[in-house]
Chain A
Amino acid sequence: MQLRMIGDSHVGRRRKVNQDSIFYDAKLGFGVVCDGIGGRAAGDKASSLVVDFLQHSYRQSTKIAQADTVPYIIDSINQANLTVLERSKTDEATLGMGTTVNCLAFRGDKLFLGHVGDSRTYLYYRGHLFQLTMDHSVEEFSKRGWLSQAVLNRNPKKDALVRAIGLFQNLDVDVIEIRLREKFIFLTCSDGLSGMVTDKRILDLMRKHEGELEKLPEILIKEANRMGGDDNITVMLSQVV
């Protein structure tokens, strides 16, 4: 199977700084999207640090067996987390910086998706759209009954993150595994897209422009801006051909 990847990032309409970062390389079979946490200092530094760390780490690890990819991803995201924590202590301006991460590793006939935070990866297939990642947010966790009322009372902000890089030393990383098929298109995005554009609208746009992968990032970003552009918007598409 061959892989095509394309992506883009935009500051949006209201923010002055783009705190999202993106990397993708179809030959390497690897892509990362990070969204620096707004409300905390130096979100852009955190996101770019993690993107750099993970892509460099992955380049040196291409000989890892498919069966070992899951522990590798968990370990490298954990290492990235420690790096961010360490770096954040060096300068007052970066103290407490944090970011989300979605990293996609295409190994053989499978995709391994490492995820922390509320950036998302969707699967588009034959006119269907499925959200693969679960948001690590107060809202999602409380819906699943994973947060007690006492915790909710202390953290009323529904979209606050319960997991992100740079928050705590111990980090729980979700790694999702799926067997690839032809015509799979994975859409990885920051919440600048998913927070502004409904899933149904994303689906409509993807159905309409399925054959124009190279135009889709721009189309989706434009739609997010049209709906308000309240946040930075990053979109990455990976197509199995």
Chain B
Amino acid sequence: MKYHLVRKNLTYLIGPLNEVKLRAYLVGEDVDLNDEIAGSCGKWVRLGDTGRLQKYYPHIHKFMDSRSKSWNMSIHSGTPTVLAKKTSWKSLALPVLAALFLVCAAIFLWNYKSVFDGNALPNQDPYNAAVKKYNINRFKSLVHDIDKELDSWKDLEVDQLVRRQNLWLPIIRSAAFASQALENRYKTILPEPTPLPSLGKCRREDIRQQIRSEGVGDMFEQPFSRDSSIAKLLLWDPQWVKRRKEQGWGKPQNRYEACLVRVKQALESLPPSTLQNQVLLRVNKMLQIIDSSFFKVSPSRYKSDEKVHSFFGVLSCIESANSKSTLVSCSTSGFEGDKLEYLKWRADMRLAWIGAMQGQFVQKYDHFFNQMQKITSLPHVYQPELRLLNELKTGSSLPKAIEAAEALDENFRL
């Protein structure tokens, strides 16, 4: 009896599965073409990598082929994995390749610098290799897969959503980075070639459709809906984005801010509409908070917002509050159900941060802290923020907590 092990997101293992159970898994709802499979003493092969699957596990390849599974690439819902073998080297003749290798090896050995010289090896997004090859069809399928991934988030709770975003954005960044290699029609949506991330649906037609669709409309008027990728982005906490500095980024300071910039640019390129203006207003508010320029905007301008009592208006109010009294003025009346719960949670978080900034972190904010712990205690978490919160919770003074956070990243800011 043969057994195989399945790996999801590079972290969660299922099995070992015998042949019957493996087949059941492969036709089940949980299967993802980015799942990897391994046999005894075998290589880990992604289910969507048909070439390697056929080579190493022909019986599995045959089974999946016979079930007419889609062989298009799929976005991994967790940590990015490579989606394609590098093919560039295969196009070179072997002798040339060997000669090049020897020459390079000689040069590199001569100039060898230990990898342990303290310089971080950059964590390359996996799509870079593929999209650099100016393969428009490939990019289209990547964006399609990004859309599919967004669609799969429909039933996630907010904190699960944030976790998925944490893991998903590097993929988007990589795909967007290739914009310079694309057809002209994409250039009108995507900004100048810079290593900026992008929301999957930054195509003109898709954004227009999206803001007209139920998703974003619902965010403003009807029961809470998470069907919209734009809506998900609008829920991000700009204060959290503001606190996060990622290595290699200047301005924008991290991938989240960059993502917001991309959406803003995409929205601004479209013909104006009321709904689009509201979304743009929210995105601008978020960017202002991140940039700290929000406080240069006079309160009267904010209050002239068409939908001051709209969901995002209240959210922006909460996020920009720097004192308890200002926070209290952000009225949540008129909201109910999960919208109200969400607003209360965000207000709770903001109150705790206001207290922290004033050196008055109160132990009673367990709910807030537990939420933050769940969201931030993940791979790719921003460690300085986690350290700051831990220090405050255990009773350190604010200056000491900041010092501890800065010890991890001198660019961290409260």
Contact = CB atoms under 8 A, between A and B. Distances in A.
Interface stretch (B3-11, B222-230, B266-274): B3-11
Q: Is the interface of B mostly helix, strand, loop or mixed?
A: loop
Interface of B: 1-3, 5, 10-13, 16, 38-42, 44, 81-82, 84-86, 104-105, 108-109, 112-116, 118, 120-124, 126, 128-130, 247, 373-374, 377-381, 383, 386, 408-409
Given A128-B40, A145-B86, A170-B383, A40 B116 contact: yes
B13 A175 contact: no
A34 B3 CA distance: 30
Given A134-B10, A134-B44, A154-B115, 10 more contacts: A126-B1, A128-B3, A131-B44, A145-B82, A145-B85, A145-B86, A145-B129, A151-B121, A168-B118, A168-B120
Interface in A128-154: 128-132, 134, 138, 144-148, 151, 153-154
Contact of B41 (A82, A160, A203): A203
Contact of A154 (B113, B124, B378, B380): B113
Contact of A37 (B3, B116, B121, B374): B116
A75 B105 contact: no
Most buried by A among B40, B81, B373: B40
Interface in A153-181: 153-157, 160-162, 167-170, 172-178
Contacts of A39: 114, 116
B16 A74 contact: no
Contacts of A172: 123, 379-380
B3 A126 contact: yes
A176 to B, nearest CB: 5
Contacts of B128: 145, 148
Interface string A113-133: 000000000010111111110
14 contacts: A39-B116, A82-B408, A126-B1, A126-B16, A138-B115, A144-B126, A145-B128, A148-B124, A154-B113, A156-B104, A157-B115, A172-B380, A174-B11, A203-B41
Contacts, number: 127
Contact of B373 (A71, A96, A134, A157): A71
A204 B120 CA distance: 39
Contacts of A130: 5, 16, 38, 40, 42
Contacts of B381: 74
Nearest to A204: B41
Interface in A34-82: 37, 39-40, 68, 70-71, 74-75, 78, 82
Nearest to A156: B108
A192 interface: no
B81 to A, nearest CB: 7
Contacts of A12: none
Nearest to A67: B374
A175 B11 contact: yes
Contacts of A154: 108, 113, 115
Contacts of B247: 170
Interface residues of A, number: 51
Nearest to A160: B115
Contact of A129 (B40, B109, B112, B120): B40
Nearest to B104: A153
B249 to A, nearest CB: 14
A217 interface: no
A169 B39 CA distance: 36
A199 interface: yes
Nearest to B16: A125
Nearest to A71: B377
Most buried by A among B85, B115, B247, B379: B115
A155 B40 contact: no
Contacts of A128: 2-3, 16, 39-41
B124 A151 contact: yes
B409 A146 contact: no
A165 B352 CA distance: 33
Contacts of A153: 104, 108
A31 interface: no
Q: Which 8 A-B pairs have the closest CB atoms?
A: A71-B377, A128-B40, A145-B82, A178-B13, A144-B82, A160-B115, A199-B41, A156-B108
A98 interface: yes
A200 interface: yes
Contacts of A169: 408-409
A173 B113 CA distance: 25
A130 B81 CA distance: 19
Contacts of B378: 70-71, 74
Contacts of B113: 154
Nearest to B121: A162
A177 B44 CA distance: 16
B298 to A, nearest CB: 39
Nearest to A184: B16
A183 to B, nearest CB: 11
A98 B115 CA distance: 12
A144 B81 contact: yes
Nearest to B113: A154
Contacts of B126: 144-146
A40 B409 CA distance: 25
B377 A96 contact: no
A129 B114 contact: no
A198 B367 CA distance: 50
Contact of A173 (B38, B42, B130, B379): B379
Contacts of B120: 167-168, 170
A130 B38 CA distance: 7
B115 A155 contact: yes
